[in-house]
Amino acid sequence: MKKIIALLLVLVFLMSVATVSAFALDPKPYKYGDVSGDDAVTVGDATIIQRHLAKVVTLSDFRYSLGDVNDDGNVNVVDATFIQQYVAKIITEIPREPIFVLSVVNISSVTRSVPDSRVVEGTEVSFTVHSTFNLEPDVNSRLSYEYDLKSTTSPSIKHFEATDSNVFTYTFPKAGIYVISVKAYDKLYDGYDEEYIVYHVNESYPFDNDFVYVEYDDKRPEYALDRPVKPENCDIEYEMMYSESHIMSGYSERLNTDRSGFACVIDTKEQYDNVFKVDSDKYDDGFFKENSLIGIVTNLSCLEAEGVLGNVCVDGDTLFISVYESLDLPPGMGVSPVEPFCILIAKVSKSDVENVTDIDWVS
């Protein structure tokens, strides 16, 4: 119940703030001849054109168009000469009037140095913001950033930072749910984009160092066609021990962990008890003498039938697996605190997986 309340608080918080995407206040003038993008026409712009003609640098399509000062469809030494004459005040104006364009910033992604499900109190995490403009690809020199962090579970925890760096580093002081607002500003033309990150921090990470574990979303491509093909002649036998599609309202009744979306190889009763509450008496120390378990929890629903695990294959030190997921998912998935999820547990021979140190997904 506490977990559901916390998730609802996050949803209320996110709905209470205006998520602005790729927002620009007004169209702004871009001056012909301002090839460098510093909002001025200088001798440096003529030099950039000369370097472009010498194939030392390459102008983006938008910057190339701004370099066509005399509007003849080409950027050449004539345009560089116009700029030099303008700077030397031999001519008083650039032949072409400025153009007014919406400069739209877009945060394409925010990568994290540590997945949130692996973070415990006191962990330092770096967030790297990747941004683009609608007009040109290289924007880092033109952007400034604001990072506004709040904890929905501990309101006294707040952190704000304004910087020119696209990397934000923070040490999470205690367990809870954190919401981070990331804004990327165009320093010249006022456009900005905003992205929200919800980050979960755990009190402890119960799995021991020998636990073979991988986040479900770390290596599993979103589309099945993007997944690697299973290596040949590496299939191992397995027996389905448990399969259930459920909703997250019953999540805590079946797992001893807050993590959703992972795969693991379990070799001991202690490891099993760290993860699952499902029929735990069945898997005692005697069971694990000759057997291991493959445990999978997906944050998608799966078919409730024998064989839903699909391919199981060991090639070298890597376990390759696939899961048949239901495509008939309820509306609003990814927002509702009662998302579907699936638990799969399969028995394999311990000798087949004893050298496994990594897990990967196949179609």
Domain-located, residue 285: yes
198 against 222, higher pLDDT: 198
CATH number at residue 76: 1.10.1330.10
pLDDT of residue 269: 86
Domain-located, residue 74: yes
The pTM is what? 0.46
Domain-located, residue 22: yes
Instruction: Kindly state whether residues 96 and 239 are assigned to the same domain.
Output: no
| HEC string for the chain | CHHHHHHHHHHHHHHHCCCCCCECCCCEEECCCCCCCCCCCCHHHHHHHHHHHCCCCCCCHHHHHHHCCCCCCCCCHHHHHHHHHHHCCCCCCCCCCCEEECCCEEEEEEEECCCHHHCECCCEEEEEEEEEECCCCCCHHHEEEEEEEEECCCCCCEEEEEECCCEEEEECCCCEEEEEEEEEEECCCCCEEEEEEEEEEECCCCCCCCCEEEEHHHHCCCCHHHCCCCCCCCECCCEEEEEEEEEHHHHHHCECCCCCCEEEEECCHHHHHHHECCCHHHCCCCHHHHEEEEEEEECCCECCCCCCCCCEEEECCEEEECCCECCCCCCCCCCCCCCEEEEEEEEEEHHHHCCCCEEEECC
Choosing from 201, 231, 255, the residue where a domain stops is 201
Instruction: Kindly state whether residues 41 and 151 are assigned to the same domain.
Output: no
Mean pLDDT of 128-149: 77
128 against 280, higher pLDDT: 128
Which structural domain, as residue segments, surrounds residue 75?
28-101
**Tens-place pLDDT, residues 312-356:** 889 888 888 876 654 433 333 333 334 456 778 889 999 999 888
Instruction: Kindly state whether residues 93 and 232 are assigned to the same domain.
Output: no
**Tens-place pLDDT, residues 176-187:** 888 999 999 877
- Whether 41 has a pLDDT exceeding 50, the answer reads yes
Domain-located, residue 143: yes
Q: pLDDT class for 274, splitting at 50, 70, 90?
A: confident
Average pLDDT, the chain: 75
Domain-located, residue 183: yes
Instruction: Kindly state whether residues 181 and 255 are assigned to the same domain.
Output: no
User: How many domains, in total, are found in the chain?
Assistant: 3
Domain-located, residue 206: no
Which range among 33-42, 210-219, 346-355 has the greatest average pLDDT? 346-355
Choosing from 54, 77, 101, the residue where a domain stops is 101
